[in-house]
Chain A
Amino acid sequence: MRWRRFFKRRWWDEERAREIVAYLENETADNIARGMPPTEAAAAARRKFGNPGLVREEIYRMNTIGWLESTWQDLRYGMRALRLSPGFAAVAIVSLALGIGANTAIFQLLDAIRLRSLPVQNPQELAEVKIAGGNHGMGLNQEYGELTRPLWELIRDKQQAFAGTFAWSANQRYIGRGSQVRHFNQLLVSGDFFRVLGVRPFRGRLLGPRDEGACPASSAVASYAYWQSELGGRDLASGIKLFADNALVDVVGVTPPEFFGMAVGDSFDLALPFCQPKDGLRRDIFEVSVMGRLKPGWTIERASAAMAVLSPGVFEATVPPERDPRTDRMYKHFRLAVYPASTGVSDARQTYGKSLWLLLAITGLVLLIACANLANLMLARASARGREIAVRLALGASRGRLLRQLLAESGLLAGIGCALGIALSQTLCRVLFWLILPEGETVDLRIVTDWRVLLYAGAAAVFCSAVFGALPALRASNSSPVTAMKAAGRGMTASRQRFSVERAVVVTQISVSLVLLVAALLFVRSFRNLLTFDPGMRESGITTGFLGFWQSNLPPARWLEFKRELLDEVRATPGVLNAATTTNAPLLGSSWGHGVRLGSVEGDSKFTWVSPGYFDTMGIPVVRGRGFNLDDTAAAARVAVVNQTFVRRFLGGADPIGHTLRTIQEPNYPSTVYEIVGVIPDTQYNDLRGKTPPMAFAPASQLPAPGPWTGLMILSNAPSAAMGATIKRRLAARYPDVIVELSDFQKDVRSGLLQERMMATVSGFFGLLAAVLAMVGLYGVISFLVTRRRNEIGIRLALGAERGQVVAMVMREAGRLLLVGVVTGAALSLLAGRGARSLLFGLKPYDPLTLVAAALLLALIAATASFLPAWRASKLDPMAALREE
């Protein structure tokens, strides 16, 4: 009732006004009827009625909601005040919009990879079953693979904790034939996957238990994105057949657009059902992630306890074959445990989570500096408006009302800045991706502005307006009208205490921007260290390749010969200087290791099988003994080249030539004795960062279980892209069935530095921004101080002070602020540095050089910012300054 009246209060007011007129007319008519003269009759009627204005006001007040009305008034007044100083408003709004926008953008990223739940029904019920503490690297391990298929089948049949369970695994496979093949992201799912998750088909049907059968699988489900981009959104009824992962499959359905699989940041293209291979499931491939929906009333702890009870039987029944007793014992002692899985799994989360939190802290600090600048601006405005406020106080405005008025103004600024910031955040996210992603790479992340993001931006805005609104408002409402009116316009030497707030704000700004500058320098230098870091091998001019010939139907006996043929074809290409095959390309993340025993010492070593030209191609010198040659054939004695870490680890640094190493048996890899014939220096293994592990190389011809594929390292003097295209054409012409993938080694290695590039770019940008903001802040405060001290400076000049002395006086003032700021900032950066330790390469978080450089940079900025007002002060005409009084 009241709300309806509230929105119609103007109409009601007019209605009552008309009614009052009606009353007065009636009464006047009655008075005339009683015999009064017309003029007196109207006056008497008005007397009888009382004050119409008061009556209308009383009714109007009944229709309004007090606080709402006055807030609206405050906002309108604030709007007018801002429109009067458009420059101030623009600066404030733009800096807030950028600050809040940057914060929201980073938060959105965090939200997308870390906080948001999976787009399935009741994600909070999902939990994952894993081996507590992991499997210690035994067997073969796939990304996101926690358990083996035999383990999954036992868990599925025996578990009590879940109302429904499913397993899935994700990998990259090929689609198409021969030189036309392309990659696709495969999601392999158990029969109940879609039913337990509660995902409904967008088109057709999804996979069910009936689709699980003997290999190869014959049906697949496409993701919405893949269906749209690769299948052209075609009608399923007409039948879509694809040659995926070496078998023909029918696309029977499409998942809804919001469903991206279980791994945040790695969306899938096609989902295929689990199938049973002819020769049974392998017990040593940790390839699946097992999840389920907890039964009502079951907690994670209770489920974990139930799984622990189940564990001994389950592991006892699935011991992988052909292992050494040590591994067997370890395997049988594994325990299953249950972990929450409402947000799915994500490698991106592991990799980028920490960086993003750090970036959020950085952008938060930048926002703080921007707010501090606004606080100073508002303080200056408040003192400029001192007289107005004094008059209002003198006229009886309550302090609370005045405070509300001033807060409304800053709230208005924050509100507009926040709205613009939210609008900007999506664009900023895209700019960030564009800045850090290498050409041609994309990120599969859904960046959405959901309630969490809105809440965050809102909180940031409230925080801002509290910071820069409350200070000036409190001060203004604390001023006594008498002194304020007296002081306005009278320039006296300002008391120290009066400006302590401004000083404190500037000191805070300086110290925070020092922290940000230190962080920026650390990350930029760390990134540079990585770029210039020598991994111990050639990076530029190298093209990596992968050749697969499983579609050629060659008998395994011919594989080795065919690989040599392919390599010769590549080496014969004009422009190719050298080339070699390898089972594992270095620095790109993949890993291949075996257990080894040398005498009594046992441990793990990386293993790579390479063709004779490998060390030459990669520019790795053989420092002792020899490399491989064509005499190291399949029939010859087994030989190995090891790195220096290997020698230290297993031979205590003794001369290794002539020693033998024995590999520990695994399925398809029987225990074999290799004679060490050469030593290479330590090179990085699969990552630029990290310590070099023990490494062993063996001839490609002696690989125990070869497959119909090989890796390639090609050295050329032509640019990698052009070289790749030439080689690809040449191979496609001669071997159309062979799958050929080539790419620029150096580019691939650098794209692995995405995180470092992001930290360096973003923190560098924000570090500079912080410095600029601090400069603006310092400039503002020093100018303000100088204006306040005009008289004093005028008198000093009149009494014969040198101009240089005036400059020095002002600069000393700035210097004091700088000193306090830098000292606190240095202390803060030492504290904050600990959080960044794990993200730095070749640097300690308390790097003195960085600290000094940042402090010097800041000092330079501060000197520039304060010199201008100091110079202006010294140019003051003493007569003019004194006469103005």
Chain B
Amino acid sequence: MGKKPIQTDILQGTLDMLILQTLAPGAAHGHTIAYAIERRSEEVLLVEHGSLYPALHRLEDRGWIASFWGTSENNRKARYYRLTAAGRKQLSAEMSRWERVVRAVNQVLRPAEE
């Protein structure tokens, strides 16, 4: 807990997007997703792994992901999440929106490089 946590509601959409993206290759359970996001975001987005679960709940509520109980690699029971068709559509929409935002911000910050 060394780093100062970033206000998650600002980046909530981003966290949602990351979860969806993590699930894009295939189903995974909470523990795996947490580590994947932690690795990719260098702990900026996910300070405590617990805060992942409300996000998962919300995404499932919206029908973007679905869950089922399964057995993990080391033979433990775990709840697995997978992307639904709606989730896949949402992910691509989010990504293109994100790219537009990033391009726009970059243009503002570094106009000379263009």
Contacts and interface: CB of A to CB of B under 8 A. Distances in A.
B61 to A, nearest CB: 6
Nearest to A19: B79
B74 A29 contact: yes
Interface in B57-86: 57-58, 61, 63, 72, 74, 76-79
A52 B52 CA distance: 11
A84 B61 CA distance: 41
Interface in A297-322: none
Interface stretch (A20-28, A619-627, A725-733): A20-28
A48 B49 contact: yes
B9 to A, nearest CB: 12
Contacts of B76: 22, 25-26, 29
Contacts of B74: 26, 29
A16 B58 contact: no
A62 interface: yes
A59 B49 contact: no
Given A26-B78, A59-B57, A62-B58, A19 B49 contact: no
Nearest to A24: B31
Contact of A58 (B54, B77, B78): B54
B31 A50 contact: no
B50 A51 contact: yes
A55 B51 contact: yes
Contacts of A5: 61
Contacts of A329: none
Most buried by A among B47, B48, B51, B57: B57
Nearest to B61: A1
B53 interface: yes
B110 to A, nearest CB: 37
A54 B30 contact: no
A371 B99 CA distance: 66
A2 interface: yes
A86 B57 CA distance: 44
Contacts of A52: 50
Nearest to B50: A50
Contact of A54 (B34, B50, B61, B77): B50
B79 A50 contact: no
A62 B53 contact: no
Contacts of B50: 20, 49-52, 54-55
Contacts of B49: 23, 27, 48-50
Interface in B27-55: 29-31, 34, 47-51, 53-54
B65 to A, nearest CB: 14
A19 B72 contact: no
Contacts of A2: 61
Nearest to B79: A19
Nearest to A22: B78
A726 B49 CA distance: 102
A29 B75 CA distance: 11
B48 A26 contact: no
Contacts of B63: 1
Contacts of B29: 22, 26
Contacts of A48: 48-49
Nearest to A61: B54
A47 B34 CA distance: 14
B57 A16 contact: yes
A1 B63 CA distance: 9
B5 to A, nearest CB: 11
Contacts of A50: 47-51
Nearest to A57: B54
A50 B30 CA distance: 14
B42 to A, nearest CB: 16
Nearest to A16: B53
A19 B76 CA distance: 11
A24 to B, nearest CB: 9
Q: Which 7 pairs, one residue from A and one from B, show the smallest C-beta to C-beta distance?
A: A50-B48, A50-B50, A26-B31, A55-B50, A49-B50, A58-B54, A19-B79
Interface of B: 1, 29-31, 34, 47-51, 53-54, 57-58, 61, 63, 72, 74, 76-79
9 contacts: A15-B79, A22-B31, A23-B34, A26-B78, A29-B76, A47-B1, A48-B48, A55-B50, A62-B58
Given A22-B30, A22-B31, 9 more contacts: A16-B53, A16-B57, A19-B79, A23-B31, A23-B34, A49-B49, A50-B48, A51-B50, A55-B54
